[in-house]
Chain A
Amino acid sequence: EDQVTQSPEALRLQEGESSSLNCSYTVSGLRGLFWYRQDPGKGPEFLFTLYSAGEEKEKERLKATLTKKESFLHITAPKPEDSATYLCAVQAMNTGFQKLVFGTGTRLLVSP
């Protein structure tokens, strides 16, 4: 069964304090790994898609990387507006379609 585990569950940072969020996955053939951001009371907002080990993508203070077993979301010099829940999800080759399997997310709080 496809599975996604995110750690830590919650992370508190000071503004400017860089850190990384982890997403470990087991999937029978990875089609794609996705990072979403979710603000309270809102739906998931797409950030990145990674397709193969070694791939990296960046957007402002965020950088996502992918290995064969995990992905990291690196946050460089975070600001309070980066506070949100970050969700990781995978698509498996064997689903045939586009079903996403989500982790439970990492709640990030950045204090000024």
Chain B
Amino acid sequence: EAGVTQFPSHSVIEKGQTVTLRCDPISGHDNLYWYRRVMGKEIKFLLHFVKESKQDESGMPNNRFLAERTGGTYSTLKVQPAELEDSGVYFCASSLPGNTIYFGEGSWLTVV
């Protein structure tokens, strides 16, 4: 069974540009999460989808970040415009209700 897949694995963009990260959850997992780890810090929650609905977006840093999950399948996380402090690893995760949360390999973002 395929795990959580994320694309791209690495991205280098200039400040002010836009980047879109994609996540395909494990098949059948209605719960989808985005987390982020910036340099030297712990992994932090960004938001949680149940199917196509945002259940909790309390961790989104500001309005430059937009997450969508149209149709309740894959999700995208767009950063526009990117700032230097957005550099880090963005992890997507998925789960069944009340069950173990499985993580993807991460999308490494560098803003220069």
Q: Which of B1-60 contact A (CB under 8 A)?
A: 4, 31, 33, 35, 41-45, 48, 50, 55-56, 58-59
* Cβ contacts under 8 Å, B91 to chain A: 43-44
- Give the contacts of B81-112 with A (CB-CB under 8 A): 91, 93, 95, 98, 100-106
| Residues of A bordering B, CB below 8 Å | 4, 34, 36, 41-46, 49, 87, 89, 95-105
> Smallest distance from the beta carbon of B108 to chain A beta carbons, Å?
8
A-B contact pairs, 13 of them (CB 8 A): A34-B101, A43-B4, A43-B105, A43-B106, A46-B103, A97-B48, A97-B56, A98-B95, A98-B101, A100-B43, A104-B41, A104-B42, A105-B42
- The reply to whether A100 and B106 contact each other, CB–CB distance below 8 Å, is no
Chain B residues whose CB sits within 8 angstroms of the CB of A100 once the complex forms? 35, 43, 45, 101
Establish whether residues A43 and B104, one from each chain, have CB atoms under 8 Å apart when the complex forms: yes
The complex places the Cα of A43 from the Cα of B5 at a distance, in Å, of 10
- The size class of the interface chain B forms with chain A is 20 to 34
CB neighbours of B50 from chain A (8 A): 97
Q: Beyond A98-B95, A102-B42, is A46–B102 a contact (Cβ under 8 Å)?
A: yes
**Inter-chain contact B55/A97, CB cutoff 8 Å:** yes
Contact A43 B45 (CB under 8 A): no
- Residue from B43, B56, B98 within 8 A of A44 (CB atoms): B43
